[in-house]
Structure 1
Amino acid sequence: MTLIVDKIGAAFPLDGYDNGPDYGKYQMVPLDGTRTLTIKTDKLPVDVEVSKSNARAILIGRFRKKDGSPIPGIEPSRMANDTVFRIPAGTEAQFDVKGQAFANAFISVNEVSGGDDITFSDGIIIGVKPKITKKVAFVYFSDMRGDVKSLFTAKGINPRDVMAKANTSFLSQLNLELQELEPGKPIDEVKSARDFGSPINVDAIMAPEKDKASFVMTSEVFTNFPRLFPRTHFVFLLTRPVTSKSQSDVIDVNIRFATNTNVIFFTPSTSNVDETMKAFMHETGHACGAQHVTARASIMFPHLGPSLTMRFLGEHIESVHNVGPVFPLAI
């Protein structure tokens, strides 16, 4: 059976490739950028072509064998969206996909017998995505229990470093980049006279306050730094560890409130760099439109765990770019 897989030699690449059980294979390709895929043929030759629906969105080509040598009958430098590329049987080949227009396209793969009858067909959805940027800000939020900035320092967590590392994955998988609103400027601090408890319970704060702590805290940030909210897509609120009665095992809590600005609670609950990065990416995914999934390996699985990876699924890439569901797609 012929297979389309991700790049040769990359066991777990984070480049927007997804082999989703519900809708088949998917690959994000940056607008005006390229991604490389691998095709492995079995006992029959294979025809590879761009389906006519949205063919303008991509070009495919530069087919070559695993060792880089040319494939007989295919011009090594050719890129096209109106050509059938025939790959011989028993071949492991790479080919490039170039994004030309913001749309979804489909590459079909058909095994052919001696009489050109199709015996097996497969394909992959290509989501061509322009680069999008999100303006963000960091705010330290301390209360009467102490200075939060020193707590982050003690844990060895630099929020800007976390964002810089996360951006590598966001760009490769989503073609998304977070940009700090005021880079290089000291991070703003709120020093509240209130006591929010330890850990902070975002569901409620101590009497006589009846409001949820999340609302009170974000209101104080808005009052102190109104300049941030019209200019940012979301704010990372740097707080002490957070808990929630309604969400077990919570490390970060994503709050959407009335200003239509997202606030992400970013806490030093752990000094584990891997967990901190995953929590940061998960909550950023929410702020950009991605929802929870049941796939335990995906970054959008609801809870941290040993099987959680930094992989976004095709449905998350589509959600972030607001182009509708991955399927149905006209072929």
Structure 2
Amino acid sequence: MEAGRVRRIKLGSQGLEVSAQGLGCMGMSAAFYGLPKPEEDMIALIHHAVHSGITFLDTSDVYGPFTNEILLGKALKGGVREKVELATKFGVSYADGKRETRGDPAYVRAACEASLKRLQLDCIDLYYQHRIDTRLPIEVTIGELKKLVEEGKIKYIGMSEASASTIRRAHAVHPITAVQLEWSLWSRDVEEEIIPTCRELGIGIVAYSPLARGFFSSGIKAVEKITNNQLLKLIPRFHPENLEHNKTIFERVNEMATRKGCTPSQLALAWVHHQGNDVCPIPGTTKIENFNQNIEALSVKLTPEEMVELESFASEDVVKGDRYSSEIATWETSETPPLSSWKAA
């Protein structure tokens, strides 16, 4: 697909415009999905993506940690920066080997300054709170982000894995441009309350893991190929007792894809694209051939009947296992104390 054929969408209501599909960069240098890949190959992939019209790049300071932002900083040199919309995140730290979620103002500012330095930038386009610090009111965290916007260090504010009420409270302090959440054929819990809340408030939706962490690429085979996988071990639906059952979902998607003349991953991505023009999926990959396949999902058209058929394959009562284990923070555990309690303290 040529660069000019990748449509653009407005993400949120504050003016951010991005390619209708993004590129998740986590797997390029973080060990969550196996060993980091050669730096020169990943830079070549990023350049190929931008040349192809996929200009919305997603990273985080915790990917590596830090090494993914350093990689992006190198890749954006030589005039590439002006062509992309860059999103990074803060809020998850691994101090002394322990995972901690932080949103206190001093940490927010220090994290932003550190990301700017690693990315070799003066300003971050979209800065997400990666996970919600439930020890303090969300208004306190967003208040510091608002200051960073006013100082020109970030352009737009985003949130990830936040509940509807947390999003509302944050948006009242400063407009939230995008909410990043897990949304795919088999992760649809956000549709009941979070998606409607975002649309009511004019907030863009960024869908991570739209291919179910590779499951909709080649089913169990995709999972088996990944060695030293830290992340999948924490996801119950990938545990053997559930995966054997869940493989039938892939088989049904694969059969439908064959009928339509596309790949199962293209079909799964197309389903996300058909959710609306306020939705941008960010599939990740480390291979140019997979990237080329993913971008063609933008050309796959689905009828309302096909959408219903697809959704029946992975309905809530069909998928076995939760999308995360209980120790991983999600929107379901993102409520924060009222602001009045903070003032009183």
TM range (shorter): under 0.3
Higher relative contact order (CA 8 A, sep 6+): 2
Normalising by structure 2, we get a TM-score of: 0.23
**Higher gyration radius (CA):** 1
Give the TM-score of the pair, scaled to structure 1. 0.24
Which of the two has greater strand per residue? 1
Considering fraction of residues, name the structure with more helix: 2
